[in-house]
Amino acid sequence: MSNKFLFGCIYIPPENSKYSSEEAFTEIEEELLFFSHDINNIALVSDFNSRTGHMSDIVEIDENLFDMLDIVNASEIMNENTLCVNNFIKKGIPLERYSEDKIIVNNYGRKLIELCKRCSLCFANGRLHQDKFIGKNTCKDASLVDYLILSPDMFDLVMEFEIFDFDPTLSDVHNQMHFSLCITHKNYTDQQNKKNNTYVRWNTNKAHEFTQVLSDDTDALNLIKHTLENFQTESVTPLQVNDLISELGNVLLDTASTAFGPAGKQPRNDINLENLLDRMETYEKKIAKLEMEVERMSVIEKEAAELRQIVQVPGTYAFTWTVCASGDVNSEIGVELVIDNKVHGSIYVDSETHTEEHCSTGFVIHTLKTGDVVYTRSQGAGHEGNSRHQRFLLDEGPGVAFSAYKSASFDAPSFGVKHTFIYDHVECNVGNGYENFTGIFRPSVPGTYAFTWTVCASGDVNSEIGVELVIDNKVHGSIYVDSETHTEEHCSTGFVIHTLKTGDVVYTRSQGAGHEGTIRSDKYARTTFSGWLLFY
């Protein structure tokens, strides 16, 4: 490539994690200024962990401010911004940003928007090709945090841009981002022409000089007049019109340069070797820190391997696992139950403040064959702080058992009062006592049964709901879950043992009032209902 390009691949740890830094965006901006000397083509591929919603990344300029503040290089500032806007309009690229992630704009999101505005960069997400007018979520099917960010000149070079569906073989939680660039000699020439153009700001005080210079340039005016007179309106082509407009623009620019004088750009400092060495030393320290974290994670994986259980006797088994988040520091982790490399249950615990202590318990019943492997493992991302206790139980199940969960999250207020929960996805139903279309369990044989149910509140909005276990129209157990802040994720689990007779009806339902927000049931945190026969 004969033209100059700057490509960056960036990752910023999540907000509030122990690896996050308020200075991250400042460092990135400094790097951009340092390395982008004399470069107009910039592309950043990034996981910023920044949720930007629909915030605009284009600066709205009030030209009157330049006169009021007596800014000398106003034309350069305006041209960088108007170049982006004009290019978008010309190419049919929406100025408005589109995103499926509409709920939250976090602090990192605001910082990223400010970074883009200061550096004259724009988001490709939601604007180009297959993702145009969409802005598809890129993480957990719930948030947009992975971006392709470009300088205005680069938008002309992007031939493909698409966010693919989630593929667990490629990432733990992120979708694949695909884009391609086409760089030709024509594009290079166009960029050079743009770079060599001189943009001159109109000066009202010299309007008379402008008119006089234009009137004196009779050769140029006669050429344009001759071209217009020879236009055949029935057969004129777009190319002829474009050539005429281009020629007219050149005449006006030449006239303005003569009348007002050209506006020059201020030179940037050349790259300093000493500064570069200092930055390399900083990067080496960061790499060493990451290597220590990788070593720590390998120890955790070794400990997790010791928890794995291999089934010796086929049958129906009940599994429960508990994880507790310490309030000493902000702690959060998700833990999932895996049976033969497939996730069959997930819980999430999150203590957002230093005084909170939270535990979460999962429960799954599943029919296994000899040789099946069962274990718990951490979820893909977002772990913080210390997990104080984890418990893993493996017991042979009885002859009647069921386990089911809701296949999708739902809006708590619309769920209603005293409304029966219907867990539509059935993991196990030995004895066929559970009805996934009503949410009711009817025992096929009398005996003493154990029941457990879990409900999870989303942290996207303030979410809360109470869920109670009902046996023959009488409440025998109640749980309540409440995420008070936008970043909290909470689950609550209930457990009841009760003796049933044939014909009894068992189900869970919402409590009387106070429901709000979103109740989660997805691959990271499931709302579940399970039960099994202990003995006859």
Q: What is the pLDDT of residue 265?
A: 46
The residue assigned the tokens 């096929």 is 444
pLDDT score recorded for residue 496 = 92
pLDDT at 80 > cutoff 70: no
- Report how far Cα 314 is from the mean position of its chain's Cα atoms: 42
Q: What is the pLDDT of residue 391?
A: 41
The pLDDT of residue 438? 92
- Strand segments, DSSP code E, in 125-181 are 146-150, 158-163, 177-181
Confidence of residue 459 (pLDDT cuts 50, 70, 90): low
| Helix residue ranges per DSSP H, 92-237 | 107-119, 185-196, 207-216, 218-229
pLDDT of residue 45: 92
Q: What is the pLDDT of residue 389?
A: 40
Over residues 249-273, the mean pLDDT reads: 66
Judge whether residue 494 has pLDDT over 70: yes
443-451 mean pLDDT? 91
CB 444 within 8 A of CB 502: yes
List the single range of 38-47, 391-400, 420-429 with lowest mean pLDDT.
Answer: 391-400
pLDDT at position 187 over 50:
no
Predicted local distance difference test score (pLDDT) of residue 90: 75
How many residues does this entry show for the chain? 536
User: Mean pLDDT over residues 244-263, rounded?
Assistant: 77
- φ and ψ at residue 182, rounded to 5 degrees: -120, 115
Q: Does residue 322 contact residue 381 with C-beta atoms inside 8 Å?
A: no
Q: Sorting pLDDT into bands at 50, 70 and 90, what band is 28?
A: confident
Please, what is the end-to-end C-alpha distance for the chain in angstroms?
A: 78
Q: 32, 120, 30, 28: which is closest to 76 by C-alpha?
A: 120
Closest among 370, 371, 375 to 344, alpha carbons compared: 375
User: Where does the pLDDT of residue 351 fall: very low under 50, low under 70, confident under 90, or very high at 90 and above?
Assistant: low
pLDDT above 80 (res 209) = yes
Using the predicted structure, report yes or no on whether residue 280 has a pLDDT greater than 80: no
User: How many other β-carbons are positioned within 10 Å of the β-carbon of residue 14?
Assistant: 19
Say what the pLDDT of residue 318 is. 82
Residue 327 pLDDT exceeds 70? no
Q: What is the CB neighbour count within 10 angstroms for residue 200?
A: 19
pLDDT in the model for residue 426: 92
According to DSSP, the residues that pair with 500 across neighbouring strands are 447
- Residue 482 has what pLDDT? 80
| Span 415-436, average pLDDT | 89
d(CA 365, CA 531): 8
Given a cut of 60, whether residue 421 has pLDDT beyond it is yes
- Residue 491 CA, chain-centre distance (Å), reads 23
Note if the pTM is more than 0.85.
no
What pLDDT sits at residue 267?
A: 43
Residue entry with tokens 């960036």 = 10
The predicted-structure confidence for 283-311, as pLDDT tens digits, reads as follows 777 777 777 766 666 655 555 555 556 66
**Of 12-26, 126-140, 154-168, 448-462, minimum mean pLDDT range:** 12-26
Give the pLDDT score at 230.
Answer: 75
**Model confidence at 189: pLDDT above 50:** no
Where is pLDDT greater, at 474 or 68? Answer: 474
| Backbone φ and ψ of 465, nearest 5° | -165, 150
Which is more confidently placed, 17 or 444? 444
- Residue range 26-50: mean pLDDT, rounded: 85
Is residue 376 exposed (0-12), middle (13-18) or buried (19+ Cβ within 10 Å)?
A: buried
For residue 302, what pLDDT is reported?
58
State how far the Cα of 25 lies from the Cα of 15, in Å rounded to an integer: 12
Q: How many CB atoms lie within 10 A of CB 364?
A: 23
* Strand blocks (E) in 326-398: 331-339, 342-351, 358-368, 373-378, 387-396
Confidence of residue 469 (pLDDT cuts 50, 70, 90): very high
pLDDT at 349: 75
Q: Regarding predicted confidence, which is higher, 320 or 284?
A: 320
Mean model confidence pLDDT for the chain: 77
- Model pLDDT, residue 395: 42
CB 515 within 8 A of CB 465: yes
Tokens 């129209």, residue?
Answer: 473
Q: With cut-offs at 50, 70 and 90, classify the pLDDT of residue 491.
A: confident
In this predicted structure, the answer to whether residue 83 has a pLDDT above a threshold of 70 is no
- Predicted confidence (pLDDT) at residue 456 exceeds the cutoff of 80: yes
